[in-house]
Structure 1
Amino acid sequence: MENLDSTVDSTENSKFSALYGGLIKEIAATSKMSTLDITCLLCVYYKFVRFNGPGAKQMKKNQFYQIYLVLFNVANVQVIERSLLAITKDTKYVSPRAWVDLFELYTTEDLERRMKFAFEVYDTKNTGVIDREQVGVACEKFFHEGDDEDELIELRADMTEFIMKKFDVDKDGVISFEDYSSVVSQQPVLVEFLGWLFPSNEERDLMAHVINMDSMLNYCNPDAK
């Protein structure tokens, strides 16, 4: 495998190829990302793993938290935890496959896949539905603390009511995936109706430059040839 990174010597490059060469081919066989994009993603992943010591094999979750903070300016631990839980059930580490899967999710235009991911993240009780309490908790983040607490409470209550009326299509008191998907399919901009989950175009641009994902650079720069 060609040495893609000047900070990795030939010995490390050979080790990288031995560790991830098979996985790169496996992912590339079904992924819409290019082989080069996948390789660049795993090269970054490998550097994080190396930082954990010579015997380390996977990225630690606290490292991933830092990535969220730096790339996406997201410090909400619950958002990070729920996002990772939707990709991997491992409670301590982020596997190389999970790492690639998450970035593929962040670059896909597949609305169905984005909806399934978003709903799983928002379903904080893991019941398969989102209830009024969960919506209310999410709405608390939409309004900053101010002097008039009564007004804030009223605004949050109004927003909760509005969201429930909008998304509880069958009027059974909860928002099912069917409710959610029927609304978002008509209005895709509402996929993140309970808060940030996907990088903005600017964040994707930063992510593309940091990780050297060529296809994303082309996406972010419409004039790219």
Structure 2
Amino acid sequence: MSAKRLQQLVEALSRSARHFNKSEVECLIKLFDTLVTASGDRFGAVGFDRNMFRDTLHRAFGMTDDMVMDRVFRTFDRDNDSCISVEEWVEGLSVFLRGTLEERIKYCFEVYDLNGDGYISREEMFQMLKNSLLKQPSEEDPDEGIKDLVDIALKKMDYDHDGKLSFADFEKAVRDDNLLLEAFGPCLPDIKGSLAFEKKTFKENRKL
């Protein structure tokens, strides 16, 4: 990437990804470039495809749930072109690593709203929970336990009692109890993961 292009990107992205300062934005752009070049993928010129992104989530943040990683990819991929551009990468990480509660509520809701209809349905909760919970070999019918969890979640979060969660339901529930933010599966990095990623990315790249 030319120095001029880098500077233009840093200027633009330090305005849109407001949780990073300019030198952090520059480090993230350089990391993106490094990862894309290392992959030697045909998408390389434009950005991350789904597999590269999942590899990065797995390596950097220890994410292992395929369904969650897939949803995180779709949430980052704002223009739905199945490729994450450098802009989507930096803006996505701004929320993923340092988002305000409001931004993270919006992000998690998007991850859990599998069909994008503006609601988290009973079926969507079931799918997400089924994927993120470990199956115990002794359980006769693990699906029953998941159905119970879905019922508990609805009882606690479905304020208008329509059998599904609107964004307003989800937001109110999370504001009342922050632990419900990732009620249907871990889609944000834990503190340890984010600190390690930031330390590595921002310290090491500054030496370049």
Q: Normalised by the size of structure 1, how large is the TM-score?
A: 0.80
**Unmatched segments (≥5 aa) in structure 2:** none
* RMSD of Structure 2 on Structure 1 (CA): 2.2
Contact 1:48 1:59 in 2 (8 A): no
Contact 1:128 1:176 in 2 (8 A): yes
Contact 1:131 1:173 in 2 (8 A): yes
Q: Deviations over 1:4-55 (max 9, x none)?
A: xxxxxxxxxxx44233210101111341311111000001111123333799
Is the radius of gyration larger for structure 1 or structure 2?
Answer: 1
Residue pairs, 1:135-146, within 5 angstroms:
135-140=125-130, 141-146=132-137
Moved more, 121-130 or 87-96: 87-96
The match for 2:165 is 175
- For the residue of structure 2 that corresponds to 1:59, the secondary structure is coil
The match for 2:4 is 18
Higher relative contact order (CA 8 A, sep 6+): 2
Q: Does 1:41 align with 2:28?
A: yes
Quick one: distance in 2 between partners of 1:128 and 1:78? Answer: 19
**Unmatched segments (≥5 aa) in structure 1:** 1-14, 215-225
Quick one: distance in 2 between partners of 1:86 and 1:104? Answer: 13
Contact 1:143 1:156 in 2 (8 A): no
- Number of residues of Structure 1 aligned to a counterpart in Structure 2: 199
Q: Deviations over 1:185-212 (max 9, x none)?
A: 1212211110101111110122112312
Contact 2:158 2:165 in 1 (8 A): yes
Q: Normalised by the size of structure 2, how large is the TM-score?
A: 0.86
Contact 2:53 2:73 in 1 (8 A): no
* CA separation of 1:63 and 1:159: change in aligned 2, threshold 3 A: same
Quick one: distance in 1 between partners of 2:183 and 2:189? Answer: 14
The match for 1:28 is 14
- For the residue of structure 1 that corresponds to 2:184, the secondary structure is coil
Contact 1:16 1:46 in 2 (8 A): no
Q: Does 1:149 align with 2:149?
A: no
* CA separation of 1:93 and 1:29: change in aligned 2, threshold 3 A: same
* CA separation of 1:159 and 1:55: change in aligned 2, threshold 3 A: closer
* CA separation of 1:55 and 1:17: change in aligned 2, threshold 3 A: farther
The match for 2:200 is 210
Contact 1:71 1:203 in 2 (8 A): yes
- For the residue of structure 1 that corresponds to 2:160, the secondary structure is coil
- Structure (1 or 2) with the greater helix fraction: 2
Contact 2:19 2:99 in 1 (8 A): no
